[in-house]
A and B are shown apart, each in its own frame.
Chain A
Amino acid sequence: MKHATWPARIILLVLSGIILYAILSARRGKKLYLRRIPGLNAIEEAVGRAVEMGRPILGSIGLGDVDVITLQALAIISSVATTAARFAHRIVLPLRNAAQVPIAEEALRAAYTAGGRPDVFNEQDLPFLSGEQFAYAAGVAGIIQRERPAATFLFGTFYAEALIIAENANQVGAIQIAGTPSTTQVPFFIAACDYVLIGDEYYAATAYITRQPTLLGSLIGQDIGKMLLLGMIILGVVLVTFGSPFIANIFGDKDLETFAAYFRAATGGK
């Protein structure tokens, strides 16, 4: 769909409105509940383990460009960094995209400052490795073998190199927490890592860790949005069962001529 149909405009505006309303409600002080996410509870444990063993923490924000997924990954790693800063502990964060370098440096510097130890931050711990997928993987594998991190946090967009990084970290005995919206790599993270954030848990991570009202509100809004989509799917299946492709037509990629046309199946141009 290159341009919005009328149903797409309405659905997207409704979803956006729900999310924004939930954010504003949360900012006004509404009490919010968030269910347990095991992988995120393990972050403090992982950082503590690294501190006890005197080995660094390794992070990766994946292979994405400067996009929504990478920024979310950086937000999670920054939260980890704030925890690590309290123990004056290093995080090594090899980077794949040149444009990520200043953003990651500023984010981690701010995180270490928020954790009370800006002096621990070292730019050399955020080396730019390469824009090429497997060169990045080779570099991270080498860093893992030499630095021997006690904990690794792998968040962001990953492809085939995910297993190279995770298995090398296993070889050095690191506790691993991973999360990615790349569903094709989740099985490998499940096989190689101790804790994995699957699908939507990835986007819940920053809200869970920081308990920031804006982020919590956004998560509530997401839940309501998902309920809306689920409701439309169930309704759609019921309607299709009785011969009406209303929901299917709404989610189609073309505007139909009349509102009534949405209730009918397209039959040879009628």
Chain B
Amino acid sequence: MFDFLSNDATVRVIYIWCAALCTLGIYSILYKENKVYRFLEHLFLGLATGYTISQTWTTILKPQWWEPMTNDGQWWWALALPAGLLFYMVFFPRHAWMSRLIFGFFFGAAAGRTFQAFAATYFPLVKSAVNIPLMNPPEASMPGAYWLTGTSAILNNLLFLAIVISVMVYFFFSFEQRHPAIRMTSRFGRYTLMFAFGAIFGSTIMARMSLLIGRMFFLIHDWFQVTVLGMKG
């Protein structure tokens, strides 16, 4: 009865039709929420949860816990199960506090990792921030440099420093920014932030449009032309 599932061509036609209907149905929310979108939303949530369950077993529990315990004889992994059961103590009001033991472990582990994460992430940033000489910049002696290169490099470096200072001043909370110099610096910082956020906005739009183009290509080429009309791919 299910032999058609072993035929690649049949399976391909089925999943392309399903994919096309899913795509069009999701886009219907752009008009307004409707039963088709609601059906696909619940379908998506179910499929995603099923996928998460399978991934949790096949990529985490099976290779890292079950197989070392049962195949490689590492019996001590059995202790992980009672530890994992601590999560489920929330269902017992008298023992609900015990779930905080394992959550505390996770909070502590996350916190303990922060030191290494801080050094790995922010130290290189500070290092790059200080490598901006305000005199005799290296750009002035690079191939292709002309008479203004040195001056423009210095001005760029000054601007870099000014922006770092002004944005950091903007984010000071513990004193009133009443002095005109501090207020101006803070306002310059805010305007610079808007410039930066506009840049991020502009650079992201193209990437998002390319995703839309991808879906449109699927609908027009893979589904309509190849599958519906039977044109060659």
Contacts and interface: CB of A to CB of B under 8 A. Distances in A.
Interface of A: 1-4, 8, 12, 32-35, 37, 66-68, 71, 99, 102-103, 105-106, 129-132, 134-135, 138-139, 141-142, 145-146, 160, 168, 183-184, 186-188, 190-191, 198-201, 204, 219-220, 223, 226-227, 229-230, 232-234, 236-242, 245, 247-248, 251-253
A226 B171 contact: yes
B13 interface: no
A132 B41 CA distance: 13
Nearest to B194: A190
B9 interface: no
Contacts of B90: 102, 105-106
Main secondary structure of the interface of A (DSSP, over half): helix
A142 B51 contact: no
Contact of A4 (B48, B119, B133): B119
Nearest to A172: B33
A252 B49 contact: no
CB-CB nearest 7 A-B residue pairs: A236-B130, A135-B48, A145-B33, A187-B197, A132-B48, A187-B201, A251-B127
B197 A142 contact: no
Nearest to B178: A35
B173 interface: yes
Interface in B82-112: 87, 90, 96, 99, 103, 106-107, 110-111
Interface string B22-39: 000010010011000110
Interface stretch (B59-67, B145-153, B160-168, B216-224): B160-168
A130 B87 contact: no
B129 A190 contact: no
A173 to B, nearest CB: 14
9 contacts: A102-B103, A106-B90, A145-B29, A145-B33, A184-B200, A219-B174, A223-B175, A233-B164, A251-B130
Main secondary structure of the interface of B (DSSP, over half): helix
B176 interface: yes
B120 A1 contact: yes
Contacts of B111: 68
Contacts of A238: 134
B119 A8 contact: yes
A204 B130 CA distance: 27
Nearest to A217: B174
B130 A240 contact: yes
Nearest to B198: A187
B57 to A, nearest CB: 14
Given A66-B107, A145-B29, A146-B33, A230 B168 contact: yes
B37 A187 contact: no
B200 to A, nearest CB: 5
Given A131-B52, A204-B173, A219-B174, A8 B126 contact: no
Contacts of A247: 126, 130
Contacts of A219: 173-174
B50 to A, nearest CB: 10
Contacts of A236: 126, 129-130
B87 A99 contact: yes
A186 B130 contact: no
A166 B204 CA distance: 17
Nearest to A233: B129
A191 B165 CA distance: 26
Contacts of A105: 90
B127 A234 contact: no
Contacts of A139: 41, 44-45
Given A1-B116, A253-B124, A138 B26 contact: yes
Given A138-B44, A233-B129, A33 B176 contact: yes
Contacts of B87: 99, 102
Contact of B171 (A129, A135, A201): A201
A263 B207 CA distance: 44
Contacts of A160: 208
A130 to B, nearest CB: 4
Contact of A220 (B129, B164, B174): B174
Contacts of A102: 87, 90, 99, 103
A127 B157 CA distance: 50
Most chain A CB within 10 A, of B126, B134, B165, is at B126
A195 B86 CA distance: 39
Given A35-B174, A145-B29, A253-B123, 6 more contacts: A68-B114, A130-B44, A190-B197, A204-B173, A223-B175, A247-B126
